[in-house]
Amino acid sequence: MPRLLKSAPGLPPAAQNDISDTVQVMLARVRLGREDAARDYAERLDHWTGPVVTPPEAIAEARAQVPDALKQALGYAHDNIRRFADCQRASVSDFETELRPGLIAGQRSIPVNAAGAYVPGGRYAHIASALMTIATAKAAGVPHVTAAAPPRDAGGIHPATLYAMHLAGADTILTLGGVQGIAAMAYGLFGTPPCDILTGPGNAYVAEAKRQLFGPVGIDTVAGPTDLMILADATADPALVALDLAGQAEHGPTSPVWLVTDHEPLARRVRELMPETCARLGPDNGATARAAWEAMGEIILCSDREEMAVEADRYAPEHLHLHCTALDWWQGRLTAYGSLFLGAQTTVAFGDKASGPNHVLPTGGAARYTGGLSAQKFLKTVTYQRADPQALPDLARATAVISRAEGMIGHALSAEARLTTFPHLLRA
């Protein structure tokens, strides 16, 4: 049986009911008050009174402010993200098949007409998130992508974030944060089409807004705090493991990080190193990482690698990082994760920023049943069928028999009518 070498006491429960009620009121007000209500929230909550639709001159000004080195890094990341999404799109193929003589069925993948991409602000700029959501939607063939981000200050959206949003191909960029930004994209405010799907991470209010809008509007996922699990064997470097744990814990004090290992000396050494490793992140980030580690961090000691794999599948982490040998065995064995990082040289930070696969991933154990954001998320896989004369007799009879067994007489009559309405086709 696995045993905890360090447990996670957790944090006090969040006031979820308060968040839900607040979001419900805000969504209703924006739905009824439209642009005026959205502008009012922008002014009261974000102190933003400038234009909501970002004009071209603001994008040009942002471009001028972004250092060349950052432009090059964003170009590198965008190229990887877009190329990976292009491959995802290409992997979804249309087809048509003749199931029986005269019974034709097929499948088409059609992009949604409009997508919304929320790019969070707050403590961090989250520049890479703009690339992940917008570029993936454009690769899927979405005709119109509306992007929204909160203003950083009186100058509007963070310049590098705005540059990345434009680079990724956003058709309209709204300077709106939080619930009002989500609502504006969902309801089609400020001259944008109502979005068919809303994507992108955000705080608890953004996540709740997406949850409440889900149904008429699609969403990528109801995101919770980001999480990381590291699987490490005796070959792992404890200093590197500790740094990877701390690096993900800096997301916020509610972000769980877990170490699962079958080597007790490694586990104990990582636990010793965590305070000083968190301190390496600087006063603010270090304090955040240490708070997350103390409240949400766990070290789980297992007897062997199979027991480690069972624990990983049980937790279904968002990010699963292998500091292990025999990577092929692990890749074939593990079944529940948002994204898998193979080998100590492949840090989760690569996936968060630049390697290509999307960083919008399932949290809170949702990786047991879903993957992360992909080009497929912006596609509707629809089907069609056609019954030619030679298929009608058997198809109509089978449909009628099943329908009557179910008590659905109208269905049976509708099927049988095809035999009497089109007798000339049957004779032909």
Pick the catalytic residue from 318, 321, 323, 359.
318
What pLDDT, on a 0 to 100 scale, did the predictor assign at position 122? 78
pLDDT in tens, 403-424: 999 999 999 999 999 988 877 6
What Rg, from alpha-carbon coordinates, does the chain have? 26
Mean pLDDT calculated for residue range 186-211? 96
Q: Which CATH superfamily is domain 16-220 in?
A: Nitrogenase molybdenum iron protein domain (3.40.50.1980)
- Would the pLDDT of 226 be above 70? yes
How many Å apart are CA 335 and CA 147, to the nearest integer? 33
CB neighbourhood size of 98 (10 A):
13
Q: Strand pairing partners for 156? A: 153
What pLDDT, on a 0 to 100 scale, did the predictor assign at position 222? 86
All CATH 3.40.50.1980 domain ranges of the chain, comma separated, are 16-220, 225-371
pLDDT in tens, 74-86: 999 999 999 999 9
- Would the pLDDT of 10 be above 60? yes
pLDDT in tens, 308-361: 999 999 999 999 999 999 999 999 999 999 999 999 999 999 999 999 999 999
- Range with the poorest average pLDDT among 10-14, 202-206, 227-231, 261-265: 10-14
What is the band of 382 on the pLDDT scale with cuts at 50, 70, 90?
very high
E strand intervals along 200-355:
218-219, 228-232, 257-261, 298-301, 319-323, 339-342
pLDDT in tens, 138-154: 999 999 999 999 999 98
Amino acid at 143: P
What pLDDT, on a 0 to 100 scale, did the predictor assign at position 299? 98
The angle subtended at Cα 23 by Cα 33 and Cα 190, nearest 5°, is 35
For tokens 């040289």, the residue is 345
- Would the pLDDT of 13 be above 80? no
What pLDDT, on a 0 to 100 scale, did the predictor assign at position 60? 97
Based on the residue annotation, tell me whether 272 is a catalytic residue of this protein: no
What is the band of 223 on the pLDDT scale with cuts at 50, 70, 90?
confident
What pLDDT, on a 0 to 100 scale, did the predictor assign at position 24? 97
How many Å apart are CA 212 and CA 196, to the nearest integer? 14
What pLDDT, on a 0 to 100 scale, did the predictor assign at position 8? 87
Question: Tokens in use for 50?
Answer: 């400038």
Which of the following CATH numbers is that of domain 225-371: 3.40.50.720, 3.30.1330.10, 3.40.50.300, 3.40.50.1980?
A: 3.40.50.1980
Alpha-carbon torsion, ordered 16, 18, 23, 24, to 10 deg: 110
Residue 266 region, left (φ>0) first, then alpha (ψ -120 to 50), else beta? alpha
pLDDT in tens, 41-93: 999 999 999 999 999 999 999 999 999 999 999 999 999 999 999 999 999 99
User: Chain-wide mean pLDDT for the chain?
Assistant: 95
What is the band of 425 on the pLDDT scale with cuts at 50, 70, 90?
low
Pick the catalytic residue from 126, 166, 319, 321.
319
What pLDDT, on a 0 to 100 scale, did the predictor assign at position 211? 96
What pLDDT, on a 0 to 100 scale, did the predictor assign at position 243? 98
Write the CB contacts of 135 (distance below 8 Å, at least 6 apart in sequence). 78, 81, 82, 85, 168, 169
Mean pLDDT calculated for residue range 241-259? 96
Based on the residue annotation, tell me whether 318 is a catalytic residue of this protein: yes
